[in-house]
């Protein structure tokens, strides 16, 4: 079959590679001038790794499995609130991989022949009919396809076209600042395993190793108005976290400005009625944009890509609509559940005042074994 994938982020590239390997005639359209991914580190959860296994794309990623023994939530000084046994969770459902985002993108796109990719080619709209879909760009028709995968990201133009009555995106009132840096010699960063939260301000700091030589950190804090530039946001975080564990400000200060990124945190205002419209399937953030609190964004996109590849295997053009309904039935309940859980986690970690004091007291009372089981359940999403 002729399949067009719109958007060359991690999920779109994974879907294109999987569908190409399955024998379909795939064209990948990317708005940007280059096929690349910018950013810092990224966490691939066990469910995401299993999806990459299914797609035959996990070999490079699995070399970066995390080895940390403890995780969970800590207060701003690094004192444990909720302790999880990462090693035990890994034994139950598999490992986490933490990798450089750009390197992950290169690894996943490696099986794609260059001739299948058309960069600098924005897709403006789709015109479906009974026999296929015409893909329209700035200058007119770009391609004719039996099926289209809309993987055009959190601000998906195609989602708005397919579901014009949906409320679209909503800002959470939070800001994500993240960076990556060479591991400073002599610093015991393992002391900060997990995520730090502050009940006074609702801010959060997380830290993960990326291989043996790099560290990836992120913050989550309140945002009023438009997001500041990276330098200003960095100064704000250093001021906000001045009395946190000293490693927090040390790592933020040591990060080169070019490796710092800032974004408002945005999610879908509500679940979509479907991930499918006829011969078009939505994938990744286009289908289920969620807060980053559970680290499931990329992993859910990889599960979408694996499901599409499996369900379209051997399909003929006349089978597309029926096969895509099976994709919707498989992925929508699961991904929507994770989307709701991510929103709950975002709400929980951003509490302040008496509510946050009660949260911390309750978290300290949760046994590590129970917290680990709950962690494993999320990893099995």
In CATH, what number is assigned to the domain containing residue 142?
Answer: 3.50.50.60
Q: Is residue 330 classed as helix, strand or coil in its secondary structure?
A: helix
**Tokens describing residue 42:** 């990224």
CA–CA dist 355, 374 (Å, integer): 22
Phi, psi values for residue 140, rounded to 5°: 125, -160
Nearest to 20 by CA among 5, 7, 37: 5
Structural domain that includes position 28? 2-66+95-169+268-348
Whether residue 84 is contained in a domain is answered as no
- Residue located via tokens 């940007």: 32
**Nearest 10 degrees: Cα torsion 129, 156, 13, 61:** -140
What's the pLDDT band for 64 if we cut at 50, 70, 90?
Answer: confident
Does 75 map to a domain? Answer: no
Looking at per-residue pLDDT, the higher value among 81 and 289 belongs to 289
**Model confidence band, residue 141 (pLDDT cutoffs 50, 70, 90):** very high
> What is residue 18's predicted lDDT score, i.e. its pLDDT?
98
Do 245 and 289 have their domain in common? no
Q: Are 245 and 78 in contact (CB under 8 A)?
A: yes
For the chain, give the percent of residues with pLDDT over 90: 75
pLDDT of 273 above 70: yes
pLDDT at 260 over 90: yes
pLDDT at 287: 98
Residue 76 counted as domain residue: no
The listed range with the strongest mean pLDDT (78-87, 91-100, 159-168) is 159-168
Residue 344: its pLDDT value, please? Answer: 93
Considering the domain architecture, whether residues 178 and 218 belong to the same structural domain is answered as: yes
pLDDT at 376: 59
- Asked if residue 342 and residue 276 are part of one domain, the reply reads yes
| Residue 370: pLDDT over 80 | no
Residue 82 lies in a domain: no
Distance CA 142, CA 134 (A): 8
What is the average per-residue pLDDT within 318-324? 97
pLDDT at 69 over 60: no
Q: Torsions phi, psi of 106, nearest 5?
A: -60, -40
**∠ CA 187-41-4, rounded to 5°:** 175
Mention every residue, 6+ apart, whose C-beta is less than 8 A from residue 212: 183
Q: Are residues 99 and 176 in the same domain?
A: no
Cα distance between residue 83 and residue 350, in whole Å: 19
Confidence grade of residue 381 (pLDDT, cut at 50, 70, 90) = low
Is 250 inside any structural domain? Answer: yes
Do 187 and 307 lie in one domain? The reply is no
**Both tokens of residue 84?**
């999880």
Q: Is pLDDT above 70 for 164?
A: yes
Which residues are CB-contacts of 258 (< 8 A; sequence separation ≥ 6)? Answer: none
Identify whether residues 210 and 100 lie together within a single domain. no
Give the whole-angstrom CA distance, residue 379 versus residue 381: 5
Q: What local confidence, expressed as pLDDT, does residue 39 receive? A: 78
Supply angle C-alpha 191, 193, 196, rounded to 5: 95
Residues 11, 118 share a domain: yes
Cα distance between residue 204 and residue 221, in whole Å: 6
For residue 96, what pLDDT band results from cuts at 50, 70 and 90?
confident
Mean pLDDT of the region 102-121: 94
Is residue 209 a part of any domain in this protein? yes
Position 21 scores a pLDDT of 96
Q: Is 103 helix (H, G, I), strand (E, B) or coil?
A: helix
Q: Is residue 87 part of a domain?
A: no
Lowest-confidence range among 9-23, 39-53, 86-100, 123-137?
86-100
Among residues 116, 112, 101, the alpha carbon closest in space to that of 301 is found at 101
Q: Does 183 lie in the same domain as 253?
A: yes
Could you tell me the two tokens for 130? 């009974």
> Per the structure, how many domains does the chain have?
2
Q: Residue 211: what pLDDT?
A: 83
pLDDT of amino acid 367: 86
Residues 335 and 300 in one domain: yes
Which of 54-68, 139-153, 175-189 has the largest mean confidence? 139-153
**Strand, helix or coil for residue 232:** helix
Q: Which of 14-18, 99-103, 166-170, 238-242 has the lowest mean pLDDT?
A: 99-103
Same domain, 311 and 370: no
123 and 43: one domain? yes
Is residue 129 one of the residues assigned to a domain? yes
Reply yes or no on whether the pLDDT at 90 is more than 90.
no
Measured distance CA(285)–CA(288) in Å, rounded: 5
Give the global pTM.
0.94
Task: Calculate the average pLDDT of the chain.
Answer: 91
């Amino acid at each position: 079959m002729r399949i067009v994938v719109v958007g060359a982020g991690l999920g779109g590239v994974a879907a294109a590679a999987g569908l190409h390997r399955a024998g379909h005639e795939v064209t990948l359209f990317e708005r940007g001038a280059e096929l690349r991914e910018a950013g810092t580190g990224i966490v691939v959860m066990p469910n995401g790794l299993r999806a990459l296994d299914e797609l035959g794309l996990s070999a490079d990623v699995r070399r970066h499995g995390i080895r940390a023994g403890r995780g969970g939530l800590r207060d701003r000084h690094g004192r444990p609130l909720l302790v999880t046994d990462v090693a035990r969770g890994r034994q139950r459902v598999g490992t986490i991989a933490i990798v450089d985002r750009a390197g992950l993108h290169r690894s996943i796109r490696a099986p794609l022949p260059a001739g299948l990719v058309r960069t600098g080619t924005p897709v403006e709209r789709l015109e479906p009919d009974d026999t296929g879909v015409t893909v329209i760009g700035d200058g007119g028709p770009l391609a004719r396809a039996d099926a289209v995968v809309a993987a055009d990201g959190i601000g998906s133009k195609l989602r708005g076209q397919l579901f014009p009555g949906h409320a679209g995106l909503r800002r959470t009132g939070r800001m994500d600042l993240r960076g990556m840096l060479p591991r400073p010699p002599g610093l015991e960063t393992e002391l900060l395993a997990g995520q730090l939260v502050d009940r006074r301000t609702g801010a959060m700091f997380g830290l993960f190793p990326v291989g043996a030589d790099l560290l990836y950190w992120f913050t989550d804090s309140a945002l009023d108005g438009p997001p500041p530039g990276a330098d200003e946001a960095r100064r704000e975080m250093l001021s906000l976290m001045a009395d946190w564990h000293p490693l927090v400000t040390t790592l933020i200060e040591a990060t080169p400005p070019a490796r710092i990124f800032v974004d408002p945190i945005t999610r879908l205002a509500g679940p979509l009625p479907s991930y499918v419209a006829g011969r078009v399937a939505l994938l990744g953030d286009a289908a289920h944009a969620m807060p980053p609190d559970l680290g499931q964004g990329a992993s859910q996109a990889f599960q979408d890509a694996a499901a599409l590849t499996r369900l379209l295997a051997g399909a003929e053009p006349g089978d597309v609509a029926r096969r895509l309904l099976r994709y919707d039935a498989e992925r929508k309940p699961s991904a929507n559940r994770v989307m709701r859980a991510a929103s709950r986690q975002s709400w929980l970690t951003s509490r302040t005042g008496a509510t946050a004091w009660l949260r911390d007291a309750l978290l300290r009372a949760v046994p590590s074994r129970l917290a680990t089981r709950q962690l494993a359940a999320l990893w099995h999403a």
